[in-house]
Amino acid sequence: MLGEHGILLSTGGTGNKNAIPFHKELIYLEVNWVKGTKATKATKFGYKTWTGEPQSFSASHDGLFAMFLQSEDSGACFSHDSLFIVSLVNPEHSQIVHLFQAQKEGDCSPWNPRILSTLWSSQSSSTLYAIVDEKGAMSVWKITLSQNHGSMDWKGLCLPVVSNGCTSSIFPLTGPEGEERILVARSTFKRTGILEVATLGPDGQIHVQSITEHSVPSSSATHEEIIFQGAVTTVSAFVHKPGNFDPKKKYPLIVILHGGPNDAWRDCWPKVWNPLLWTDQGYMVITPNISGSTGYGLPFACSIYQNWGNATLKDVECLFSYMETCMPFVDLSRVVGAGYSFGGYMMNWIAGHAVSARFCALIVHAGVYSIRNLMGGDLPIIFKADFGCFPWEDAEQWEKWDPSRLCQHWKTPMMFSHGDVDYRVPITESLAAYNTCHIRGVPCQFLVFPNEGHTISRPENLAQFQKAMVDWAKQWMEGGRKIE
**DSSP readout, 318-346?**
HHHHHHHHH-TTEEEEEEEEEEETHHHHH
Alpha-carbon dihedral of residues 461, 464, 468, 471, nearest 10 degrees?
Answer: 160
Q: Annotated catalytic residue: which of 5, 240, 365, 454?
A: 454
Q: How far apart are the first and last CA of the chain?
A: 62
Of 366, 384, 372, 379, which is closest to residue 425 (Cα–Cα)?
A: 366
Residue 84 CB-density burial (10 A; 0-12 exposed, 13-18 middle, 19+ buried): buried
Of 258, 304, 255, 187, which is closest to residue 455 (Cα–Cα)?
A: 258
Which helix (H) or strand (E) element contains residue 209?
A: strand 206-215
Sheet holding 414-419, edge to edge: 222-229, 234-241, 284-289, 251-257, 330-340, 361-365, 414-419, 444-449
| Total number of residues shown for the chain | 484
- Dist. CA 229–CA 307, nearest whole Å: 18
- Strand residues in 46-179 grouped as ranges (E): 55-59, 65-70, 82-87, 94-102, 108-110, 114-120, 127-134, 137-147, 154-162, 166-173
Active site annotation includes 341 = yes
Q: Where are the alpha helices (DSSP H) in 268-310?
A: 276-279, 298-302
Q: Annotated catalytic residue: which of 236, 291, 303, 341?
A: 341
Active site annotation includes 422 = yes
Angstrom distances, CA of residue 277 to CA of 244, 246, 269, 376, 474: 16, 19, 12, 33, 13
- Dist. CA 240–CA 395, nearest whole Å: 41
The 3-state DSSP class for residue 396 equals helix
The one-letter amino acid code at 328 reads P
Please report the sign of the dihedral spanned by the C-alpha atoms of residue 160, residue 162, residue 167, residue 173. negative
- 426 secondary structure, DSSP code: -
Q: Where are the alpha helices (DSSP H) in 269-310?
A: 276-279, 298-302
CA 370 distance to own-chain centroid: 24
**DSSP readout, 127-159?**
EEEEEEEETTEEEEEEEEEEE-TTS--EEEEEE
Enumerate the active-site residues.
341, 422, 454
